[in-house]
Amino acid sequence: MGNTWPPDLAEFVSLVSESGANPFNLTSETVMTEYKRWRNESYRYAGSDKYPWKQDVLYHICVEMRRTGVERQMTEGELKKLAEKLLTKWTKHVANGFTMPPIRRQLEAPRHPPGPTPAQILMEEYKRRKAAGLTK
């Protein structure tokens, strides 16, 4: 590697990935280390937003890794590839001029209002009419 100039595309990509050329100065190994640390220590905090993240981007990457990893039952190797992919995604995001969103707790899902659902109301109406002999 590095015997020819200019380097071919594969060599160039390899050199760039080794140098960690991203605005966060992170590699996939540091992301995996932080992911494991967060996974093992997160029980100590009220939520992921309260955890002492080294960088905001790690919050977004690690939360996505946990969600995807659980949904797809990913192995360690698959999680490492996902970490690389997400780090690349956020690097491009920042390179395109977007800002890093702040760490914040996810909004709660809307709650179902108390009382019967529309389907239950219709079923009760149907039963009432059937008992009165208005429907067959």
Question: Considering the domain boundaries, does residue 109 fall inside one?
Answer: yes
Question: Considering the domain boundaries, does residue 3 fall inside one?
Answer: no
Question: Considering the domain boundaries, does residue 42 fall inside one?
Answer: yes
Q: Count the domains in the chain.
A: 1
Question: Considering the domain boundaries, does residue 33 fall inside one?
Answer: yes
Question: Considering the domain boundaries, does residue 51 fall inside one?
Answer: yes
Question: Considering the domain boundaries, does residue 88 fall inside one?
Answer: yes
Asked whether the beta carbons of 64 and 86 are under 8 A apart, the reply is: yes
- Total length of the chain: 136
Q: Provide the terminal-to-terminal Cα distance of the chain, rounded to the nearest Å.
A: 82
Question: What is the rounded CA–CA span in Å between residue 34 and residue 85?
Answer: 16
Model-wide pTM > 0.85? no
Q: Which domain holds residue 27?
A: 9-131
pLDDT tens-digit readout, 63-122: 999 999 999 999 999 999 999 999 989 988 888 888 888 888 777 778 878 889 899 999
Question: Considering the domain boundaries, does residue 4 fall inside one?
Answer: no
